[in-house]
């Protein structure tokens, strides 16, 4: 078998078999297949696409390219929630404690943020002393003892994904739906969860800008999860504006805590409840309506909040600086962004708000960049709100004095204010089962 023949076969639009795809991926990871040959294969996939079966094979090859996670040591139903990335997306910090408080086991491996989207690991690391690099044994013990643990992805799990993404990033093949699917699901399947709920973002702040592309990706990921024997569902959710009222690591942790205390922004809370209900239903807790009520009750009776506190303490975190938003921003420069006109907010470019937060120091352009954990944006108005000239639209938070003007310009330029009130945004657009 030769890489040349496989590349030519896909270039000509022919279907590859499992052995051919595994041969390519394993050879690439071992260094036996050169970057230029794998780049040619990726470009062939970009133009010719992959069938659902080929996508599943590529996903499984990514999954099997490194160490296996010994999920059998975890007792009970294991579930995970994955988001395709957005601005202000802190749903894992709410959803995972909700389902864990009801007995679903959460053994979650999460990534770091890059560019305008945030990462769950970065948010957790904004909590002083929080440990994201538990040993395998500590991770398993934590899940078995309290039902939840979240750690960073290790380099030995699905190493093919990191290598393939590095090539996709420099060969203009990132936005290929089969390649996106194999990247996301290849990593997710290493955890060997029983249930996977996917939050596929669509809109200005998402990777998928339109509903058709988002649904295609969601459908392919659900089918791939099904091929792996996992109960999988995907929700298409809005990312035409930031989720909730905060963007930035410590700020988002605080908002998650407020939500778990029943004081969160209603749209954000609703999304968390819907995601939780889908996890619970797939985990055998009853129909969706019953599971939604169960999830909502965990916020009312504080069991989800208590589970979050237990989880943070188990991983060494200290939440004493999260009693108020003032505690988080006290050592930072805080500036107001005021509206230049009166009217209704009609549009917000979520991606540009994310880039404004990045300029303030809340994110990274490359993986080695350092983060200012307290930096970010606090929104004071969102789509549909009426504002007056001079009213505060947002607060920018950063230790970098020169960053505020950049962020202010992005926020003002990417907030459309007009005379007519826009239609209400549908947060959850569709469910793919």
- 347 within a domain of the structure (yes/no): yes
Tens digits of pLDDT across the chain (433 residues): 899 999 999 999 999 999 999 999 999 999 999 999 999 999 999 999 999 999 999 999 999 999 877 777 899 999 999 998 889 999 999 999 999 999 999 998 887 766 667 789 999 999 999 999 998 889 999 999 999 999 887 778 889 998 998 899 889 998 899 999 999 999 889 988 999 999 999 999 888 899 999 999 999 999 999 999 999 999 999 999 999 999 999 999 999 999 999 999 999 999 999 999 999 999 999 999 999 999 999 999 999 999 999 999 999 999 999 999 999 999 999 999 999 999 999 999 999 999 999 999 998 877 677 899 999 999 999 999 999 999 999 999 999 999 999 999 999 999 999 999 988 899 999 999 9
Instruction: Read off the tokens for 114.
Output: 């890059």
Q: Are 279 and 270 in contact (CB under 8 A)?
A: no
Residues 309 and 335 in one domain: no
Residues 139 and 281 in one domain: yes
Residues 87 and 132 in one domain: yes
- 53 within a domain of the structure (yes/no): no
Q: How far is CA 428 from CA 83, 271, 273, 275, 431, in A?
A: 13, 7, 12, 10, 8
- 380 within a domain of the structure (yes/no): yes
Q: Are 201 and 237 in contact (CB under 8 A)?
A: yes
Domain count, the chain: 2
pLDDT at position 166 is 87
Cα 394–chain centre separation: 24
What is 122-188 written as a DSSP string?
HHHHTSTT------HHHHHHHHHHHSEEEEEPPTTSSHHHHHHHHHHHHTT-TT-HHHHHHHHHHHH
The radius of gyration computed from the CA coordinates of the chain, to the nearest angstrom, equals: 22
Residues 359 and 310 in one domain: no
Q: Where are the alpha helices (DSSP H) in 231-349?
A: 249-260, 266-282, 288-300, 303-314, 325-329
How far from each other are the two terminal CA atoms of the chain, in whole angstroms? 38
Closest CA to 16 of 62, 64, 52, 63: 52
Question: d(Cα 75, Cα 73) in Å, to the nearest integer?
Answer: 6
Q: How far is CA 32 from CA 2, 9, 35, 336, in A?
A: 11, 19, 10, 55
Q: Are 38 and 161 in contact (CB under 8 A)?
A: no
Residues 253 and 377 in one domain: no
The 3-state DSSP class for residue 32 equals coil
Residues 149 and 277 in one domain: yes
Residues ≥6 apart with Cβ < 8 Å to 104: 76, 77, 78, 79, 147, 195, 279, 280, 283, 285
Cα 210–chain centre separation: 18
* Choice among 65, 101, 176, 183 that is catalytic: 183
Containing structural domain, residue 302:
71-153+244-321
Instruction: Read off the tokens for 365.
Output: 């352009």
Residues 250 and 148 in one domain: yes
- 18 within a domain of the structure (yes/no): no
Q: Are 107 and 74 in contact (CB under 8 A)?
A: yes
Domain termination site, one of 291, 321, 351:
321
Is 210 known to be catalytic?
no
Question: d(Cα 395, Cα 378) in Å, to the nearest integer?
Answer: 5
- 381 within a domain of the structure (yes/no): yes
Is 75 known to be catalytic?
no
* Choice among 78, 116, 162, 187 that is catalytic: 187
- 291 within a domain of the structure (yes/no): yes
pLDDT at position 364 is 81
Residues 368 and 300 in one domain: no
H or E element at residue 412: helix 403-413
Residues 353 and 385 in one domain: yes
* Choice among 112, 168, 307, 335 that is catalytic: 168
- 366 within a domain of the structure (yes/no): yes
Is 161 known to be catalytic?
yes
Domain termination site, one of 287, 321, 355:
321
Residues 341 and 412 in one domain: yes
Tokens 């793919």 belong to which residue?
A: 432
CATH classification of the domain holding 385: 3.90.1170.30
Is 72 known to be catalytic?
no
Question: d(Cα 270, Cα 278) in Å, to the nearest integer?
Answer: 12
Domain termination site, one of 290, 321, 352:
321
Residues ≥6 apart with Cβ < 8 Å to 427: 237, 238, 267, 270, 271
Is 289 known to be catalytic?
no
- 187 within a domain of the structure (yes/no): no
397 has which bridge partners? 334, 376
Residues 289 and 315 in one domain: yes
Helices (H) and strands (E) in the chain, counts: 17, 13
CATH classification of the domain holding 314: 3.40.1030.10
* Choice among 89, 122, 161, 192 that is catalytic: 161
* Choice among 10, 63, 78, 82 that is catalytic: 82
pLDDT at position 114 is 60
Residues 337 and 408 in one domain: yes
Q: Please provide residue 405's backbone torsions phi and psi, each rounded to the nearest 5 degrees.
A: -65, -40
Q: Please provide residue 31's backbone torsions phi and psi, each rounded to the nearest 5 degrees.
A: 85, 10
């Amino acid at each position: 078998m030769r890489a040349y023949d496989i590349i030519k076969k896909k270039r000509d639009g022919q279907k590859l078999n499992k052995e051919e795809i595994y041969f390519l991926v394993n050879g690439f990871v071992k260094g036996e297949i050169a970057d230029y040959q794998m780049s040619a294969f990726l470009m062939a996939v970009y133009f010719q696409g992959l069938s659902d079966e080929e996508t599943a094979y590529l996903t499984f090859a990514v999954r099997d390219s490194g160490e296996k996670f010994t999920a059998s040591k975890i007792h009970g139903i294991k579930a995970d929630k994955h988001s395709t990335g957005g601005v202000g997306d802190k749903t894992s910090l709410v959803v995972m404690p909700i389902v864990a408080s009801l007995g679903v086991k959460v053994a979650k491996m999460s990534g770091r943020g890059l560019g305008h989207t945030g990462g769950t690991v970065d948010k957790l690391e904004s909590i002083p002393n929080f440990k994201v690099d538990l040993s395998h044994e500590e991770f398993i013990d934590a899940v078995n003892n309290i039902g939840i643990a979240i750690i960073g992805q290790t380099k030995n799990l699905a190493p093919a994904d990191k290598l393939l993404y590095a090539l996709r990033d420099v060969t203009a093949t990132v936005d290929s739906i089969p390649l996106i699917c194999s990247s996301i699901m290849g990593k997710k399947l290493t955890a060997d969860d029983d249930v996977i709920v996917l939050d596929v973002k669509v809109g200005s702040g998402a990777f998928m800008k339109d509903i058709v592309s988002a649904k295609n990706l969601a459908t392919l990921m659900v089918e791939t999860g099904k091929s792996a024997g996992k109960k999988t569902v995907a929700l298409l959710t809005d990312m035409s504006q930031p989720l909730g009222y905060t963007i930035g690591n410590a700020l988002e942790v605080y908002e998650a805590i407020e939500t778990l205390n029943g004081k969160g922004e209603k749209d954000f809370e609703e999304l968390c409840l819907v995601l939780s209900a889908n996890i619970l239903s797939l985990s055998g807790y009853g129909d969706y309506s019953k599971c939604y009520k169960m999830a909502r009750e965990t916020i009312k009776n504080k069991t989800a909040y208590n589970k979050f506190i237990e989880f943070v303490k188990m991983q060494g975190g200290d939440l004493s600086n999260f009693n108020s938003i003032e505690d988080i921003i006290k050592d930072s420069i805080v500036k107001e962004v005021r509206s230049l006109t009166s009217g209704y907010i009609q549009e917000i470019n979520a991606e540009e708000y994310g880039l404004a937060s990045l300029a303030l120091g809340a994110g990274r352009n490359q993986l080695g960049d350092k983060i200012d954990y307290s930096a970010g944006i606090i929104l004071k108005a969102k789509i549909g709100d009426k504002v007056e000239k001079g009213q505060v639209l947002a607060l920018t938070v950063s230790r970098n004095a020169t960053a505020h003007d950049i962020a202010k310009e992005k926020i003002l330029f990417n907030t459309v204010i007009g005379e007519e009130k826009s239609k209400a945004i549908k947060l959850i657009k569709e469910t793919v089962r």
